[in-house]
Every structure is written in structure tokens, then in C-alpha cells.
């Protein structure tokens, strides 16, 4: 791995803060510092994650990595690099208001600087909603550096009128009131299904209550800056045709971005993409129903010669090189369609010839 002298474009300061075995690196880039939490053996293939608005790896991916089967699949095969949006890491200070607000292009290019610092040539990517957009844009701009995309409730178009309205309300709440109760309600609506959010008759779930507590730790100005970047995003639908990697998309059927995920899936190359719809779930499948991601991810990663431990003899240290998956592996039965709450729509075979 690269050390702090290996790149002229970025400098990293190692912070001796350990998060469940991970180590935080603060990487200085052309548009500000970014926190990266690294888990695992850095000799293994890299997987980078990028969370949704107002979240970091603890609030966006903890459920997935605490799911034993999913954790064994991912940590056995990858070294995980959790990238936080600027100012979204644990304990982040407020960013100076005079600092220019980065664009989505700036955030995508910032990922290049992070990869260069760690000496990473190409990576697997996993992102949720806003983070999924940033990683998709990164994949379009830097195709040679992306091996595959695992996207959760992604968007690829400019904000709809309804999203624009919600974003405007959230921006005003952040500016005038900070992380108030009403803002949290808006964010929970963005993340979770009504079953998790609760109602007048049903109390909020533990997941929603934990998310509320974690949101209290965010700096309002930092969230506002990321929201402004995402709210100003351009439509990248045409760029999807340039993608050269395989893509696996998850979306909850109760997600406010459900139609956006369907639109994106329809625009991707049908030979190399698949859509998994999760019943009774909101946008953040990684937290609400992480077990629903296991089987689809397992078969997706088989196309790269990566398996769960003790299943096959493939080495996770070998370079990722896509191979074909037998058609029956992506049949509805194999993908777990008979098991609630998973509902899977495969637009075409993910890795292999069309049926």
C-alpha cells in the first residue's frame, strides 16, 4: 500500500481511532479533507463504500456488516474502504461556511485522490442513494478504475419536482434550525419504510431511534453542503451507456426513489445488470433488511471468482477478473424469490449471455 509520500496530489494523516477493528485515515484532497475508515487486509481486493445524505459508514452500512453471513462474504474477499462525504465522519467539526460548496463532479474526483493515496488501481463500489449517484458518476468518468457497482436505491436523473421540494424544505430547516425533530422526520422518510418509522399507533423501531441519535452528531452546515451538491446534480442517464462494469441494484418497494431505481435499471446494459426489489423496505436496505442482499451479492461476486469462506477454493487475494455465471444461478429460485421479504426482478442475466 502507498504511504503518505506515494502521491503528490494528496496527503493522509493516520488517526489512531479504531472503529471495530478499522482505522481512520484523513486524506487531504483538492476539495477538502475526507475521512476513510479501512477494515481488513489491504492485500485483498478493495471495496469502497459511500453513504447517503447525513450518514456515514456507522449509520448506513453497519446493519449489513453486522449481518454475519454478509460480513463473512465481504470481509473474507475484500478490504473495505468506507469513504464519508466531507464533514460526515464521526466527530467532524463544522466546515467553514466560506469554503466553496463542492459539486458532485468534485466529490467523484475526490474519490480518485483517495484511491491514489492508498495505491488502489481499480475497486468494487457500494453506495446508497446520494452515495450511489456519486459512485456511478465516478464509474462513468473513470471507467478503468471500477470493477463493479452494488447500488442501493440509486438515482441517476436530476431531482424530480417532489425531491426538489423536499430538498428545499430540508435546506431551510438546516439553515435556520439545524438538526431539529422535523428535519429528522424528513430524513427518516428518505431512509426507511413506514413499518420502521412507526406511526401514532406503532412506536418507532429501534433502527429508527438509533438513526435519530446518530443524526444528532452531524454538523448542520456539513449536511447542508452535501445536500446542495446532490440537489444540483445533473442527469447522467446517457452516461450509463458508457459503463463497462457489472451492476447490481437493490431498492425497497417503499423507497421514495423506487421509480428512479427502475429508470436506472432500464437504461443499463441488460446483459450486465440486475435489479433486486425488496418488499416492505425503504431506501436503506443495508440497514432495514440487510439479509435480503446476501444471496444476490453472493451470485454477483461469483462472477469475479469470489465466494463465501469454506465454500470454494478461490483465493480472495487473486485479482478480480469477471467470469461467466451459469444461467441457473440467476434463476428466480436460486435468487431466493420464494423467501419473503425478497422480491427479485432480473431484467436479464447478470453475468453471461442473454436467455
pLDDT per position as a tens digit, 125-163 = 999 999 999 999 999 999 999 999 999 999 999 999 999
pLDDT reading at 28 higher than 90: yes
Give the per-residue pLDDT at 296.
Answer: 95
- Give yes or no for residue 102 having a pLDDT over 80: yes
Say yes or no to pLDDT of 353 above 50.
no
Q: What's the total number of domains in the chain?
A: 1
Mean pLDDT of 310-331: 44
Q: Classify residue 90: in a domain, yes or no.
A: yes
Q: CATH number for the domain including 133?
A: 3.40.50.1820
- pLDDT of amino acid 64: 95
d(CA 95, CA 347): 43
Is residue 290 included in any domain, yes or no?
yes
Cβ atoms of 168 and 186 closer than 8 Å: no
Interval 307-331 mean pLDDT: 49
- Residue-level pLDDT at 336: 35
**Per-residue confidence at 275, pLDDT binned at 50, 70, 90?**
very high
What's the confidence (pLDDT) of residue 332? 39
What is the band of 238 on the pLDDT scale with cuts at 50, 70, 90?
very high
Q: Is there a domain that residue 323 lies in?
A: no
Any domain includes 12: no
Give dist(CA 203, CA 214) in Å, integer. 18
Give Cα 139 distance to the centre of its chain.
Answer: 13
Inside any domain, residue 11: no
> Counting every residue, how long is the chain?
355
What's the distance, Cα to Cα, between the start and end of the chain in Å?
A: 42
Percent of the chain with pLDDT over 70: 81
Average pLDDT, whole number, for the chain? 85
Structural element, H or E, at residue 32: strand 32-39
Do the domain assignments include residue 333? no
Q: At a CB cut-off of 8 Å and minimum separation 6, what does 338 contact?
A: none
C-alpha cell at 273: 445488470
| Residue that wins the pLDDT comparison between 133 and 333 | 133
The reply to whether 313 falls in a domain is: no
pLDDT in tens, 174-214: 999 999 999 999 999 999 999 999 887 888 999 999 999 99
Mean pLDDT, residues 41-57 taken together: 96
Higher-confidence position of 60 and 330: 60
Q: Is residue 15 part of a domain?
A: no
Q: 144, 145, 150, 218: which is closest to 179 by C-alpha? A: 218
Domain range for 108 is 23-303
Q: Quote the cell numbers at residue 306.
A: 469470489
Amino acid at each position: 500500500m502507498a504511504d503518505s509520500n506515494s502521491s503528490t496530489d494528496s496527503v493522509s494523516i493516520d488517526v489512531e481511532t479504531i472503529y471495530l477493528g478499522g482505522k481512520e485515515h484523513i486524506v487531504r484532497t483538492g476539495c477538502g479533507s475526507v475521512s476513510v475508515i479501512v477494515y481488513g487486509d489491504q492485500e485483498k481486493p478493495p471495496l469502497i463504500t459511500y453513504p447517503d445524505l447525513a450518514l456515514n459508514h456507522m449509520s448506513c452500512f453497519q446493519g449489513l456488516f453486522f449481518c454475519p453471513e454478509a460480513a463473512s462474504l465481504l470481509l473474507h474477499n475484500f478490504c473495505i474502504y468506507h469513504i464519508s462525504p466531507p464533514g460526515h465522519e464521526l466527530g467532524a467539526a463544522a466546515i467553514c461556511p466560506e469554503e466553496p460548496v463542492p459539486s458532485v463532479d468534485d466529490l467523484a474526483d475526490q474519490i480518485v485522490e483517495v484511491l491514489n493515496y492508498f495505491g488502489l488501481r481499480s475497486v468494487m463500489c457500494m453506495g446508497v442513494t446520494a452515495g450511489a449517484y456519486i459512485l456511478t458518476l465516478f464509474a462513468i468518468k473513470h471507467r478503468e478504475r471500477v470493477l463493479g457497482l452494488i447500488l442501493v436505491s440509486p438515482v441517476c436523473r436530476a431531482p424530480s419536482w417532489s425531491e426538489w421540494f423536499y430538498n428545499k424544505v430540508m435546506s431551510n430547516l438546516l439553515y435556520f434550525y439545524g438538526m431539529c425533530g422535523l428535519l429528522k422526520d424528513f430524513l427518516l422518510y428518505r431512509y426507511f419504510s413506514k413499518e420502521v418509522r412507526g406511526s401514532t399507533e406503532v412506536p418507532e423501531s429501534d433502527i429508527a431511534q438509533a438513526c435519530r441519535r446518530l443524526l444528532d452528531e452531524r454538523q448542520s452546515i456539513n449536511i447542508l453542503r452535501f445536500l446542495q451538491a446532490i440537489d444540483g446534480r445533473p442527469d447522467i442517464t446517457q452516461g450509463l451507456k458508457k459503463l463497462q462494469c457489472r451492476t447490481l441494484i437493490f431498492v425497497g418497494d417503499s423507497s421514495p426513489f423506487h421509480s428512479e431505481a427502475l429508470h436506472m435499471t432500464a437504461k443499463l446494459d441488460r446483459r450486465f445488470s440486475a435489479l433486486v426489489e425488496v418488499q416492505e423496505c425503504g431506501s436503506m436496505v443495508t440497514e432495514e433488511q440487510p439479509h435480503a442482499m446476501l444471496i444476490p451479492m453472493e451470485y454477483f461476486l461469483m462472477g469475479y471468482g469470489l465466494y463465501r469462506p469454506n465454500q470454494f477454493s478461490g483465493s480472495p487475494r487473486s485479482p478480480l477478473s469477471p467470469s461467466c455465471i451459469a444461467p441457473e444461478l440467476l434463476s428466480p429460485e436460486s435468487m431466493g424469490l420464494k423467501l419473503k421479504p425478497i422480491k427479485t426482478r432480473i431484467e436479464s442475466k447478470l453475468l453471461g449471455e442473454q436467455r
